[in-house]
Structure formats: structure tokens, C-alpha cells
Structure 1
Amino acid sequence: MCDKHTLPATVEGLQGSRRRRVWELGQNSHCPLVGVALPLGVLRKLVERVTGGRLLHDDYDIHVGAVSECALRNPLSEAIQKELERRYAGDIARFRAARSEDEVAALWTQAVADGKVPGAFWAGLTHPRCTPGLEQRMCRDIHMVQHQAGACVRADMDKVKALMADHARLLRELEKAQQRCQLLQKEKSAQAACHEQQMMQARAAAIAKDTDIHQLRGALAELQAAVPELDARTRLANRVAQLEAREQALRGQVAALKEERDAARAAQAVAEAMQPSPAPVAAARLDAVEAPVRLFRRSVLCVGGRSGSVPVYRDVVERVGAQFAHHDGGLEDSAGQLDASLAAADLVICQTGCISHHAYWRVKDHCKRTGKRCIFIDKPSASSLLKSLQEVATAEN
């Protein structure tokens, strides 16, 4: 008489709510169940734990032995039962909602389509509404799934071989790239060492220059301490040299202009002798201002004015016997020359319309401090200059 646990459940017994155990399944279901639902590593650990020692058998012998043990209730089949229940608890809960064979079949079909076979296979086989026909169908489906998996494995193997070939090629390219990088690294290291050496030399040269500068500053300080007011004397000597050079240039300029004036007067006299004509108004005015003798040998400085009118200003001033000097008011001539020209002048004529603000205030300040006569002309013209000279001559006479 057989043990009650070794008999498979009948269809009438399946109408209850109790799920079947692994040893209650058909023998045709044990092989695909163990092969699909239990990874080989997990199966080997279960068998070793039950047997109490390490197995030296290969994976096929362990699989065959486990399949044969699942036909009866024993420690190994019970361990397999617990492992399957623990591993696929989520699938069991999902299949528990099925109330008929069709619903179980629908869940199984969906699991096969989704590729989630192992848990659905265990949950479907042990479901109370799983009939022998559905069990046989599930075994056929799992058989085909294994064939498809084998085909996929073969395709994956081809892909793996291709990937391994690409991997080998990439390794060779990587090795070449690493060699190039090593060569570049050596080259850059040599360049960096050369640059570092050049930088050290530059630092040494800079330190030497700083040392020389420090020594020269010390020597300069000693000289300044030995000679009182050295800076002031140096500035005064430079200023004197500038003034002397300016005076020499002005004297040469005055001599040249006088020669040009005499030549022009001679030419004009010859022309007037050959063809007498009435004198222009400007010449009459110039002759009128030649009378004041107090402007003879006086230095008249004209500050500002248009550059094209400077020869006219010079002729007007020299007609009254004075020496002419001109400064453009800071447009091209330096401010230092203005101070020297102001110091050498007896009379200053400032044309405010053609002069910078800085030069204007320097002229005004100098004349105020020294009490020197200064005439400010708004419109830069020869007639304005003639009128100003007449006023000066009248005031001095």
C-alpha cells in the first residue's frame, strides 16, 4: 500500500483551496521544474545542506538525483518545496487571485509572453485549479521555451564571439594608444624639465637684478646724503640747460626772422618805387604803431592764436621795435616751455579764444604774482593785436 503523500492529487481533490506540493506533481513536471525554477548553484547548495557534505558530482548528476527525489516526500523534496515557496512568493500571490482553470491559463500565457517563466511555472503547477491538461500544456510550453532559450543562447554566443573579436581589436588599439601616450608623456616631461630649468635661470637673473638695484639704491642714498639738496640742484641744472637751449633757439629764430623781414621790406620798397600805389589799411595801422619808442627792445610773448596767423603777429610786434616770442598754449609746445617764456617776457598777450584752460590759468597766475602786464584778447586777429599794442603804448607814454 502506497503512502498517502506519494499519490498525485486527483481532479476532484483540486477543487479545494490547498496548493499542491512538489511531490504531489506529475513526474513529467519535476524535470522542467527543477531545471527552470532552481538555478544550478542554488540546487547544489540545497543538496549539500541536506546530505551534510560537499558533492563531487557534476551538475547533470545533481539535477537527475534531485528530479528523482521530488517524486517522494523526503528531506530534499521538502527543502526544494521551501526554497520554491520563498523564491516565488510574489508569483504565488499573483496566481492566487485566479478562480478557474482559464484564469490560471491566462496568467501562464501572459507570463510566457513577458518572459517571466520560472515563478509562473511553479505558481501555476501548484495552483488548486491546475488540471492535468493544463499541467501538460504548461510542460509543453516550457519545453518550447527551453528550445527558444537554447536558440537565443546560440545567438548570444555568436554575439559574444563578435564582441570578443571587437574586444581584442580594441585592446590592440588601446595598447597602441597607450604607447603613443607614453611617448607624448616622455616628450612633455622633457619639455617641462627644460622649461623648469629656464624658469630657474630667469629667477636667478631676476634675483641678481634685484640685488644690483638694491645696491644701486643704497649707493644713490649715500650720494644724496653726502650732497645736500642734490635733487633740487639737479632739477635746477636741467632747467637752466633747457632755458639756455630755448634762448639760443629763440635768438636764432629772431635773427632769421629779422633777415626775412629786412629782405621783405627791401623787396617791398623796390616794388613801391617801381609802381607807387596807396598803402593798404593794415600797413597804415602798422605804421601808426611804430611811434611808441617805449616798446623798443622789449620782449612781447603771444600765448595762443591760430598757427597761420603767427607770422602776422610777429610782423606786427617787430614793427613796433619789440622782440616777438610765441607759445601755442599747450597744443604742441610743452607746459615747461610756457613757464620759461613767461619769465623772459616783458609783456604778455593772451588770446583766450585759442588756448587751453591749463595754459590760461598759468598765464594769469604768473602775471598776477609778478605784476607783469598781461593783455587778454578774445578774438585772435591782427587788428586786435594792433589795438592792444596801441593801448599799451598809450598807457606807458
Structure 2
Amino acid sequence: MLGTHPLELGAHLSEHHSFSALLEYVTNTNGEGFAMNAPFLPILPIVDSLLADNQILTPIPQSNTETELSPIKRSKIWELKEANRCPIVGTCLSKDELIRFARRFHFEASITDVFLLHVEAVNCVATRNPASEAIQKYLDSKYQTALTRFESAKTDAAVFDLWKKCFVQGEIAGALWAALTHKRISDNTRGKIYADMHMHSHHMGANQAADTRRLAQLEKEYAELETAMELQKQHHSRIEAKLRMRFQEALAESEHLRQNQKEIVALQARLSAIESGKTMTEMGQRLMKLSMENERLKSVAHQANNLEQSLQDAHNQIVALVDECKVLIAERDALERFLLSDSSCKDSCNHPNAHGTSQLKDCCVVCVGGRIAQLPQYRMLAEQMGIRLTHHDGGQQHALSRLPEMINSADAVICPTDCVSHAAYYQLKRLCKRHSKPCLLFKGKGVASFASALIRLSLGQVSLNADTCELLAEGISK
């Protein structure tokens, strides 16, 4: 019920100067009298003066600065405005929690329609009732930590500063409940908090749409890579089956040659034991035939040796293909982890350590060699991981005299050993040892190999002064 402000009473009495005027003014002010919650103390001295001697009344001087009386306790949710209740219900209660309250208090809206449940919940907490009291008690219990933290704020400005700090850090739900129900907060500050939440919802919607598009693109690229990998695996399986068949055939031919060699030895023994000339003649004829057969067998043996060499080469190729397949699988897994981490990072952009690259964040890494055409992809991957990437092409267009300055100013060095010149490689190795720079040497010219190398470098895996460095050096010299 609206009432008359005591200062207006004082001004009215100063004009009429009588107690009867006071009674008439109180009775005739909109027919309503005083409000139950209006402060009455400022007019008590005036009333006492009228009761004492009915003298001329003088208004009590007012101070130039108004002191706002702070509430003595926190506000309840039903005491807040609708503009404040709506973001509390939408932000501080999850979908499952809202459904549980709807079932408990028999909301009229369908359980499957979250928006109507939200609207009904906002209307329900507008007044004090069992549902609003239960929600008030649940939110106090859920965000007790935030309430305890906000108790340190003793002024309206301190409440708003603490809200801003939590808002920037992404701690929104608990801070929103603690701030809007704080006993020192003003309506103006509640309006500012509502404005922050309103704009935050717009930004979250735009970011979610962009993340959805990016996720769809990444899923498409992943499917294409998976299909290509499956085709490559099938191709390798067919080659391996053919090589295994040729190997079995060569083993059978080799066994046949060993049996022929045994027969030749037996014939030579019989030849030495022959005594008669006829036998010698027959044996000579047979010997000639056997010699011819021996020559043929030697030719066959020579072919068998060639087949064995071919088989050995094929075996070496199989080993190399298997090793290459393992490297490709490792690079694929590393790229998958990188892509998945990047998507999570974007879904929670206020968490800077989503990639696990805290060791390289804001560090300068120089890449020596690699494909120049893929340099934009190299830089994009490095920027997504928070790395400042500089590049030297290994002497194709850039002078090798720039390497000492670039390596000395970098925090780490990476080098694809199968796409760099000999001179750049040995100078890189010498400079990294001299300046004690971590250096990772890896094989692979593609973007996946580069991403895998960055992740390995961030995990502290380096090649310099290790056995892998010497092995890679031998591979380059060949």
C-alpha cells in the first residue's frame, strides 16, 4: 500500500503550523495514510512539539547526502524482479534439476518442453510458496561456496566488482545467485548484472553456431582421412600377401636345389669307383649329360640366388612399409588427439590449457625445412597451440647465414629430416648443441607429421644428444 513520505509531512506542517493540519493531511493524503514500511522517525520531533505547546513547526533540516539503508539479510528469490528471476532459473538450475522440480511440484507444462518448464518455474518463484521455498533452499545449498565468497563484499560496489571477476573467469552460475540475492546489492547493480547476462547469452549463441560449423567440417575431414587410411591399409595388405606367396615359392625352389646338389655329389662318388673302359665311356657320356645338367642347375641356382636377393629386398621393403605404417598410425592418433583437444578448447574458451601445451605456450619455435606450400597450415597449427612459429626453408631461398640468429632467438627447434638440405641439417645440429636448444628431428612432410612433432615437443620429447638423432643423421647422409 502506497504511503506519504515523512519529508512531505514536514513540508506540509511548515506551511499550516498546527496539529489539526497534521491530522487533516494524514487523513486526506490519497485516503490511504502512511505506508507500513515508511520510516516515521524524522517527523516524531515535530509531532512531539505540537503535542507540547502547539507552537509553529519548523521542518527538520535534511542532510545533503542521502544514506541508503542496507538490508539486514539476503533477498529471497520471490523478492526479486522478474528480470532477475529469469536468468537465475535459466542459469543456476540445469535441465535435469528443472525437470525434477517440475515433477515434484506437478508443473502443468510438458516435461519434454524445457522452455515452457522454464517459464512456469519463473512464474512459480514470483511468490512465496512451497516450490519457490524449495528452489531457494536448493540453490543456497548448491552454491554455498559462492555465497561464502560473496559474504566478504560489504558494499554494493564490492559486490559488483566480485561479480565482474567471477564473470570474466567463467564462474557465472554461483556468482549470479550470490550477487542477485546479496544483502548489500542495489537495484542499479542488479540491472548491470542482468545486462551482462543478456549480452553473454547472445555471445554464447553465436560462438555455439561457429563451433557447430567447425565441428561438422572436422568430422568431414576425419571421415575422409579415415577412408584414405583404410584404403592404404588394404593396399599394403595385398602387397604383403603377394610377397608372402613369392617367399613361399622361393623357399620351395631352394629346397629343390638342395636336393639336386645331393644327387650331384652321389654321381661323382660313383664315377670315381668305375673301373671298366666301357663303363668309363658310358660314364663319360653320362658325365657330359650330367655336366650339362649341372650347368643348367648352376644357372637355376644363380636364378635362385637372384630370387633370394629379390626376396630379401622385398622383405626389407615390407619392414620399411610396416615402419612407415606405424609412423602414419602414430601421426594419425596424434592428429586425432590434437583435433579433439582443439574442439573442446573452443567449447570452453576460458580454459587456456585445453591442448596440454603449457610448456610451449607463448614460446618461439623455429622450423627448419619442410614444404613451403604447407607453411600456412604449419602456422595455423602453431597458432592454435599458442606457439609463435618462425620458418627457415633450409637453404632453398633463405640464406644459411640466418640460421644462427634464428636458432639463438628461438626457444625450441624442429626439423623434418626428409625435407631439408645436408648443409642445413648439420649446421642446425651444431648450433642446437652450442646454444643448448631443444631440438626434435622427425620424418614426414605432411601437416599430420608436423602436428605430431609439435605435440611430442610439448611433451619434452627431443632428439638432440639422443640415439635417435644419430640414426636420423645416418638416414640423411644416405
Please identify which structure carries the higher helix content.
1
Question: Which has the higher Rg, Structure 1 or Structure 2?
Answer: 1
Normalising by the residue count of structure 1, what TM-score does the alignment of the two structures yield?
Answer: 0.43
Query: Greater relative contact order: 1 or 2 (C-alpha under 8 angstroms, separation 6 or more)?
Result: 1
TM-score by length of 2: 0.37
